[in-house]
Structure 1
Amino acid sequence: MQLQVTNSPFNQEQTEILNQLLPTLTETQKIWLSGYLAAPQTAAFLMTPESRAKNQPVAGNSPQSIKPSATREVTVLFGSETGNCQALSEDLSQKLEEKGFKVVLSSMDDFKTKDLKKVQDLLIITATHGEGDPPDNALSFYEFLNSRKAPKLKDVRFSVLALGDQSYEFYCQTGKDFDQRLEALGAERLHPRVDCDVDFDDLAAEWMEGVLGQLQDSSQVGQVEDSNVTKIAQLQTGATIQQVTKYSRTHPFQAEVLENLNLSGRGSNKENRHLELSLEGSNLEFEPGDSLGIYPENDPALVDRIIAEMQWDPEAPVTINKVGEVPLRIALLSHYEITILTKPLMEKAAQLSSNGQLKALVAPGNEEKLKAYIDGRDLLDLLHDYSPWEVPAKEILGILRKLPARLYSIASSYKANPDEVHLTIGTVRFHAHGRDRAGVCSVQCAERVKPGDKLSVYVHKNPNFRLPADPDAPVIMIGPGTGVAPFRSFLEEREEIGATGKTWLFFGDQHFRTDFLYQVDWQRWLKEGVLSRMDVAFSRDTAEKVYVQHRMLAKSKELYQWIQEGASVYVCGDEKHMAKDVHDTLLAILQQEGGMDQEAAENYLTDLRKQKRYQRDVY
């Protein structure tokens, strides 16, 4: 919102203050402010969420206008790896407070397990990480709940919202585990669990609506008599309010590409791109550790091969939810995922097909064969291998899931470059099953995106990957390959704010000559003292492969000393191999230098994680 000076009784200074305040207010705060300002004339009395939860009116408000408050407390716990579940939990908590409920909102890590038996209504929103594992900030709660120490919960009502990705074998497994375990402990299911794929907005909204409905049906909720209260449309001054467009995951910004450079040297086995995008006019802001979501387009050549294989009319109209009618080719280019097969997709395809081999492949007992077929194949393979298809195009498209955004760690500081965002993107290319394959977004950026083109983007907040609040605290950063991207953002930020804490970067890749990403930046920061020290590992430059964990182990004494001095440890990059190896190396260093046994070292790292001093952004 923007307050215009025209016809306003406010002077320029007051107008500027109001324009700084208005965009930061929640709907609840706007309603409260409206009632507060109007109270002397209209007696439109309101309560803050905090005072409403305590059934106490704001000073000067009329108690007669308030109905009884909710008799039960709602606890909202989240397990979030990339921030989606935390954002949904905050949204749900706000909705609950607006309905008059008292709410406890917490990450699972920060929730005191001794208080679990006091909980009345428990709402869990959790992601699933890796091979069906809980997110880092849900691990300790997950282990407690599945231990013999977990209390009986016969007086607790609960519901679970699970986020996942159907392209992974253990889809939404953590949410399923919580749902089953809470029931086994005697809790009553308030509302059925909902499992969400990467396109989670609609299902999450339906789950919230269902949960709110159940809670309201069974509780007396404090509400405000609102006959004279409306949300702020005007500040009762005659001044007009301008609506500022808010860009988000569901309403992306069209960002112009300013630069698109190949960071990899000639002869490299890799292609790593550095993109600079303009955010001018977007009102988007970000912090070090956040990611940028890009909505990509599929490879036109692959789309055309699918259309040719099926002998479809590329101009045939296709209706897409919330979009409307578009030509079939545009639908395949921009709206549907066609490069990844999943078990649910294969099962739905078998229902549309008369092919006995396909039906046998998805039958119970053939899980390993199905998993092997899915690996490295795409929609074109499926349509070709199990033809003919005697169903119209719209039915095939109806089983496809929405083309999801791709997230990339931001490689720049907003404070240093307020109208830009920089990305480091590793181009994915591979050969499988007789055909060359390509990453959807990475190859689009490498081959088809030029300066002046635009990409659909949004900022993805990641509150679980943040610099220490104290700029004097030491920082250890471990980021091989493109995993180094957020640490470029970290150091740009620390340079901009004049942070004085020590910094140590571990970087690795294949070859010094061709794969030393951002080498000039690191060297400048080392010279200026923004980066205190740097250790590198180029695995293909020596007879024996050397990785970042080997460099860490070689400097174990100094690393342990930094951690003892209060350093925060950050890890970014590949989860399956690098992150696991780094984690094991940290455990080894704690045992070697700290004289700990395995259990003590694991507990030490767990404590670091709870203190936000061991943070990972792995994928």
Structure 2
Amino acid sequence: MAIPDRSVLVLYGSETGNAQDMAEELGRLCARQHFRTQVDELDAIDLSALLQHGLVVFVISTTGQGDMPHNSLLFWRKLLRKKLPPGCLAQLRYTCFGLGDSTYVKFNWAARKLIRRLENLGATTFFENSEADERFPDGIEGAFSTWAGRLFDHLLVEHPHPDCLQPIPEDSILPPRWSLAPALDAIQNRYNGVKKVEEPLRTGPPPSRLLPIPDGWDATLVENKRLTPMTHWQDVRLVSFDIPIRAPGDQLQCNPGDCLTIYSKNFPEDVDKLITLLDWQSIADQPLDLTLCPSLPRGLFTPQPCTIRNILLENVDITAVPRRSFLRSISHFAEDKDQRDRLLEFTQLDFIDEYFDYATRSRRSILEVLEEFHSVRLPAHRLLDVFPLIRGRDFSIANSGASTSATPSSEPSTTTRVDLLVALVRYRTILRKPRQGLCSRYLASLAVPSRLSVSHKPALSPIHGPANARRPLVAMATGTGIAPVRCLVHERLSHPDPGPMYLFFGNRNRTADYFFEDEWEALERAGRLKVFTAFSRDQDRKVYVQHLVRREALLMAELIPQNAIFAVCGGSNKMADACKEAVFEPYKEAGDAVAREKELESLTWWQEIW
């Protein structure tokens, strides 16, 4: 009798990292049942690889306007090729877990499109597909944990090991997927016992080395200006970069909806504290040859020479809220039994509320966890296997990316100016120490003319270009959500005869946070833009953007049949829902509801909520 194929391929399409984290967790789940497991991003896989594994698990998030994540677009184009014959994936047995947010119009469309296409090509499921919603009471984490637990039980029953091997228990640690052991072992031999290193950076701002970002750009900070008054509770910055051409004819081109990705770094004092906690002082500053390691995780952008301290400063996110998988991993290295038991308790599904209270709701950092569970002695070679990497943070570009030149005007432009509108994240939880975002702290520390490596992320659902510029635009934005709207307005004004534009902007106070007020007023005086503002704290009765939109129901009813573009941008899901109701409900109530409902289905509703 043939031995069943016990290989599992886990593939992820991830925009912010959630899907990737869950795919890694599923990989560990399958490894505990002795499956040969491979975890990778969708774009790294050829279609033929799908048929080389007994089971395939997809974990995919939906981004933008029902779009596939950027690291799955190449795979998706391959899957859509017309020359693929029906039934070509008949041997594929798969399951899919989708991540989405029901406040978006096209909820979980990426997973649904993927499933539909796989079915068209003959693939069948071996386990029920599932979807998670950011709006669930337990969030995506709760839905995933429940589904993953059922998947584990299913594999145990339906795909038992032919030699009756029992799963590797949770209290036994798996071999590392990525190990620094070869590089660490080589230190003594390479230097024959004499290890000369430079004096490590232990205080001050993060290091200024440029990271080798694939397809990255070298950016120079030219402005880091606070827009809100010093007395205001929130620090909002206009952060501007000049980005030169990489080669003749290779200049950055920006469109509305595009993002610039910033790669943050840690502060030396935090890294030094972690090195001390884990007792890595003797090896932290020894040069590492990472080429000796058989494999390294995607997203590890490490210049040479490299040390453990460099990796911690530039690549490892020690300020992230720890996932349950991280707590489980470090529990194996807790020398104190009570601390080990407590860490394991956080990872149990029955105690998920305690995990949320301890980590998620309080926004406790990995560094703070290691300070509390001080008996943890993680071996340095497991650094990359246990700690999450710093992921690039996407910021909507706030201008049209106009070109500039340091040479006389007759010369071609050599630099693209990029503006970002950044609200520095600082808040309080039940913990005494105020919380601060890693990227916020990093950006606040940068002084002109700092240089850093960035990358450009194009919009997947474009609403720009000459044809779109002639359509009416209704933009509804709150706070820093005005950034992509400003970019869109700039781009439309660059075309002849743009359509009418209406801006509904809301924030707390006109005097404190009316961003780009002078620009909007100048455009309104010129008759090129109509502005409606709602500053909720400037009067006793709070007025929000959606209230102003509903008051203009007649204007909305006039614009909808003109194929208007509706753009909603900001940081509130409730605001997005309320704006949609303010547009849709009066329009349906003023006529044939059924006919108008159908008309609204084809409406261009572009939403950017974070």
1:489 is paired with a residue of what secondary structure?
helix
Aligned partner (choices 57, 62, 74) of residue 91 of structure 1: 74
Out of 281, 286, 289, the residue aligned to residue 254 of structure 2 is: 286
Give 2:218's aligned residue: 254
Q: In the alignment, which residue of structure 1 is the partner of 2:400?
A: 413
The Cα offsets for residues 393-442 of structure 1, whole Å up to 9 and x where unpaired, read as: 44355311110000000011135666111111111012331212211112
Match in the other structure for 1:403: 390
Whether 1:333 aligns to 2:333 is no
- 1:565/1:452 Cα in 2 relative to 1: closer, same or farther (>3 Å)? same
Identity %: 22
**3-state secondary structure, aligned to 1:537:** strand
Q: 1:503 to 1:165 in 2, by over 3 A?
A: same
SS of structure 2 residue aligned to 1:462: coil
Give 3-state SS (helix, strand or coil) of 2:234's partner: coil
C-alpha displacement of 1:470: 3.5
Distance in 2 between the 1:478 and 1:592 partners? 22
Alignment of 1:224-263 (within 5 A): 250-263=214-227
Give the one of 258, 271, 274 matched to 2:238.
274
Query: Are positions 1:615 and 2:579 aligned together?
Result: no
The amino acid of 2:329's aligned partner reads K
Task: Check the 8 A contact 2:401/2:418 in 1, yes or no.
Answer: yes
> 2: CA distance between counterparts of 1:478 and 1:357?
47
Q: Secondary structure at the match of 1:365?
A: helix
Do the aligned partners of residues 403 and 118 (structure 1) sit closer, same or farther apart at CA in structure 2, a change above 3 Å counting?
closer
Q: Per the alignment, do residues 266 and 134 of structure 1 end up closer, same or farther by CA in structure 2, a change over 3 Å counting?
A: closer
Using the alignment, how far apart are the partners of 1:378 and 1:350 within structure 2?
16
Q: For 2:117 and 2:418, locate their aligned partners in 1 and report how far apart those are by CA, in whole Å.
A: 48
Deviation at 1:606, TM superposition (A): 3.6
Look up the match of 1:454: 451
Query: How far off its partner does 1:94 sit?
Result: 6.0
Aligned residue type for 1:287 = N
Give the 5 Å matches for 1:142-291. 156-157=122-123, 169-170=139-140, 250-282=214-246, 283-291=251-259
TM-score with structure 2 setting the length = 0.64
8 Å contact from structure 1 (residues 165, 172) kept in 2? no
- Cα offset, 1:483, TM superposition: 0.3
**In structure 2, do the counterparts of structure 1 residues 359 and 331 end up closer, same or farther at CA, with 3 Å as the change threshold?**
same
Instruction: Kindly state the Cα deviation for residue 453 of structure 1 after the two structures are TM-superposed.
Output: 0.3
Q: Which amino acid aligns with 2:420?
A: L
TM-superposed deviation, 1:522:
0.9
CA–CA distance in structure 1, aligned partners of residues 450 and 344 of structure 2: 44
Identify which of 329, 335, 354 aligns with 1:369.
Answer: 354
8 Å CA contact retained: 2:68, 2:110: no
Superposed CA RMSD in Å reads 4.4
Question: What residue identity is the alignment partner of 2:426?
Answer: R
Q: Which residue of 1 aligns with 2:29?
A: none
Matched with 2:42 is none
Unpaired stretches in structure 2, ≥5 consecutive residues:
1-57, 155-176, 178-210, 291-295, 405-414
Contact map agreement 2:263 2:392 (CA 8 A) in 1:
yes
CA distance in 2, matches of 1:368, 1:256: 44
Deviations 1:446-467 (A, max 9, x none): 2x11111012211101122423
Aligned pairs for 1:479-494 within 5 A: 479-494=477-492
Give the SS at the match of 1:170.
helix
Following superposition, the deviation at residue 538 of structure 1 comes to 0.8
Q: Following the alignment from structure 2 to structure 1, what is the Cα–Cα distance between the partners of residues 260 and 609?
A: 15
What is the alpha-carbon distance in structure 2 between the residues aligned to residue 90 and residue 361 of structure 1? Answer: 36
Contact 2:217 2:454 in 1 (8 A): yes
Partner of 1:426: 423
| TM-score, normalised relative to structure 1 | 0.63
Residues of 2 paired with 1:264 and 1:457: CA distance? 26
Alpha-carbon shift at residue 271 of structure 1 (Å): 1.1
CA contact (8 A) 2:534 2:545 kept: yes
Q: Is the 8 A contact 1:257 1:453 kept in 2?
A: yes
Q: Please state how far the C-alpha of 1:121 moved relative to its aligned partner.
A: 9.4
Structure 1: which amino acid aligns with 2:559? W
Decide which of 378, 384, 396 is 2:371's aligned counterpart.
384
Give SS of 2:559's match.
Answer: helix
- Cα deviation code 1:48-77 (max 9, x no counterpart): xxxxxxxxxxxxxxxxxxxxxxxxxxxx9x
Q: Which one-letter code corresponds to 2:123 in the other structure?
A: R
Q: Deviations over 1:259-279 (max 9, x none)?
A: 111111242221111111111
Q: SS at the partner of 1:102?
A: coil
Find the aligned partners of 2:95 and 2:569 in 1 and give their Cα distance. 27
